[in-house]
Structures are given as C-alpha cells and as structure tokens.
Structure 1
C-alpha cells in the first residue's frame, strides 16, 4: 500500500453510549456504526480514546484504598494535586519531573511512555482510571473483534490526551496500535548524493487528526474513524518505537 496520503475523511461515532466497567467495547462500536447506517471499509483506521478502553477493561482504582507516602505528600504540596493521585502516579511510573513551578507532573510509565500524570484520569472525586495494562494488546484485541464483526480489515489506534512539558494545553498521542505501522519511513537523495532517511510517528499523526473530533474533553464521542489514510500494515505496536522499552 502507498504510504502517501493526499486526502482523508474523519467522522465521529455518535451518539455514543456511556461505557461502563466490563462492557464489550468492540460490540458497542459496531452497534453505533449500525445505528449510523455506516459500514466500515478495508483500510479504515478506528481511533479510540484510551479512557473508554480503561473503563471497559475495569482499570478503576478507589482512592479510599490509596495511602500516600512521604514522597507523594511532598509532591502533592508542591503541585496542589491530590496526594492519592500523586501516589498512583509514583506507583505507575519509574521516574518523573515537575514541568513548571506547580506542574504538570511528567512521569515515565512502567510500560515505557512519558505522559502527564502517568496517563491517570480522575474518575470523580473518589476514583481514578489507570491506563490499559498493555495498550498494544488492547488494540489488537479490539481490531480482531471489530474485523470479525464487520468483515472489514481495519486498523485500531488507542489515543490518549497528553500535555507537553514545554507548553500549556494538551494534544493527542497514540499509546497503542494494531494493523498499522507506527512509523512512516521515507528516504530521499540529497544534492550531494547521500540518502536521507526520515521517520515520522504515523500513529501519533493519526491520533492527533482524530483528536480534532474526539470527545476526550466532554464532547461524548470517544471513537472516530479515519478513512483514506495511507499506511503499511503491521502489528508491531507503539511499544516498538519507544526509546525506553517496557
């Protein structure tokens, strides 16, 4: 397949029902598609917000059962973030730093990703959602189930909203992928005859494109379909391109 994209279409799956713990996410996605009278096509990329994957995989933590240690209490006082959440961040990561005077806390998750707050999402005042245990495995399972239900050969990207240490605001990145190579590699010859190789994180570009319409900030549309994206098929996943392996 060509890796050059000239144009693509993106649309959200909505209205999308509220996902609860243990739900069959792939089944819900196909039901919403049927309600929209939309059929998936070969080559479609389905981008799914990580939070609904975490909810379906029951990655909930009750904060009442979290006891902050001295390091969490100190970091909580510095940043204003609840001490129980900080304890979870420290428990889910191997190292961290505070990007500004009062945050955000940028942490390297045990699975290799560097994320704001180790990718932890609040679940109201009393709980939190952790990332999926293995986002690439989650993407493969979702891709296989959706392909089986729809009959279309698709790719899946699991996306997470994340801040940057050098600026305010959040963007959207990929933390899991199946059926799509995470890197787009191009080579061209320089005027001096040398060959220059360039690598782009294609799954991040796909996640960011979907982020324009995903509802991770309250819109209520946690799944989007991108159609017309050129990519190479691969199941190596996002973990394959990390500098720090899990």
Structure 2
C-alpha cells in the first residue's frame, strides 16, 4: 500500500447546500458543470457540516433550556448557555483545556471532539454531527459510484482542536470504501497502525473549509488504499452510544472542571 505521489483539488465554486438537499446529486451536478469527471479510486473528502445540512441536523437554540451546569460553563467559556447545553446533550463526558476552554467532549458516537462537533449556525441555531457518519459515508459512496460509474471512496471530515495546543486540524469521523487503518511494517518486523482516514482528511483540509472559502468537498487522487466499509467507528476506543437520551446534561460526567 505504497503511495509515492498524489493530488488534492477542491470542487469550487460549490453551491450553497440547503437543508435537506440531496448532497450526492449536488456534487455530481457541480462536477459536470465544471467538466470534471471522477476517476476510479478517487477519495471524496466531504466536510461534515454539509452532510449535517443535507440530513437536516439543525437545532433551534430557542428550544434549548440550559441546565445549571451549562450556565456555569457558559460563564467560563463565553459560549451561549444554550449552545453549551447542546454540547452536553451530545456528549458523555467533557473537560476544559484551559480555565476558559475550549470544551473537549466525548461525543455519544465515541469521537473526542471540540464542542462535541456542535457547530453554531446564525442566527440562533446550531448544526449537530450526522447521526451516523459511517452510514452517511456509505450512502454517499453508493450514490456517487452509481451515478459516476466508477468506484470511489468517501471520507467525512470535521475540524477539531487539540487539547495540547492552539489551532485546529481536520480528522475523519466517517468513511466508506477505504480502510480506516493502514499498517506499515519495517524490515525488522515492527508493525505500526496508522489512522489512515485521518491522514486523508487532514490532507484535504489544506483546501477545505477555510473561513469564508465555502469549499466543502475535495478530491484526493492517486492514493493507494485498501477497500473497506469498516468505517471510522470501528477504530474508536469507546463504542458509540447513539441511544443516549438527549437533554440529560445533568448526568454527563466531567473529567475535569478546568
């Protein structure tokens, strides 16, 4: 599984995705308008936010009632209490990286993410992560492959902060058609597991989603990879708990109060 060179290019301009709009159809239509064709083995890296918009994962903050814990965290971090409540509702545990945040939370799906992947939407709303990012990736892969007539892989990417440093990187939260791990082996027999879909997501992150850029989809071409539908969920240390009742922030355990 050796890759010596590859290319990454964004699909732009890309139209604004409306809530509930069919994302795969929009991608194919945009590629056609730009006289671009998918090639066998292409990896489409798609920003999680447009997947959430397509899947109507919107919450009106006016419908959210903050708990006392959310109010306390709001005072520390400067985030609206309603938004903090959503973070708590979407997570099973959390901690602050500094006295004023950011909030690092373990999402119900098992991912550890800044703000549990909750993305503020103006005015007065927020976008949650896709309900099942691996399932979303499989559905998009199937639709794109069927329409384009060539086998492709899909990685759903999300921006994420690091507890030990400033700034954000890009990680994979869902995948289809590509093994989430790559195993490399040295001549002495030492083996190393690499979070391969994270590498792909971070590579695409160089051209994806900078503020104001409005580019939610990139094509990574020329990467050698194993085909798998195991998904990112298969490599998480903590299993998904998607049935956790929302709105029970008072029961969320805090690993540290900052």
Q: For this structure pair, what is the TM-score category when the shorter chain's length is used for normalisation? A: over 0.9
Task: Indicate the residue corresponding to 1:17 in structure 2.
Answer: 15
CA offsets per residue over residues 13-70 of structure 1, 9 Å max, x none? 1110000111010000001110111110110000000000000000000000000001
Q: What are structure 1's unaligned runs of at least 5 residues?
A: none
Deviation at 1:216, TM superposition (A): 4.6
Q: Provide runs of 4+ in structure 1 moved above 6 Å.
A: none
- Identify which of 95, 103, 111 aligns with 1:113: 111
Q: Where does residue 125 of structure 1 map in the other structure? A: 123
Query: What is the 5 A alignment of 1:40-51?
Result: 40-51=38-49
Task: After TM superposition, give the deviation of residue 80 of structure 1 in Å.
Answer: 1.1
Within the candidate set 49, 52, 57, 2:50 is matched to 52
On the 8 A contact 1:216/1:222 being kept in 2, the answer is: no
1:158-197 equivalences under 5 Å are 158-190=156-188, 195-197=189-191
Q: Which residue of 2 aligns with 1:231?
A: 225
State the number of aligned residues. Answer: 240
Correspondent of 1:240 among 225, 228, 234: 234
CA-CA distance at 1:217 after TM superposition: 2.3
Please give the residue correspondences for 1:97-112 in structure 2 after superposition, counting only pairs within 5 Å: 97-112=95-110
**Structure-1-length-normalised TM-score:** 0.96
* Cα-to-partner distance string for 1:141-195 (whole Å, 9 max, x where unaligned): 00000001100100000000111111111100000000000000012243xxxx2
5+ long unaligned stretches in structure 2: 241-258
CA deviation vs aligned residue, 1:60-98 (integer Å, no higher than 9, x gap) = 000000000011011111111110010000000000000
Q: Select 2:66's aligned residue among 58, 65, 68.
A: 68
Question: Could you tell me how far apart the structure 2 residues matched to 1:102 and 1:166 are?
Answer: 14
CA contact (8 A) 1:161 1:216 kept: no
Normalised to the residue count of structure 2, the TM-score between the two structures is: 0.92
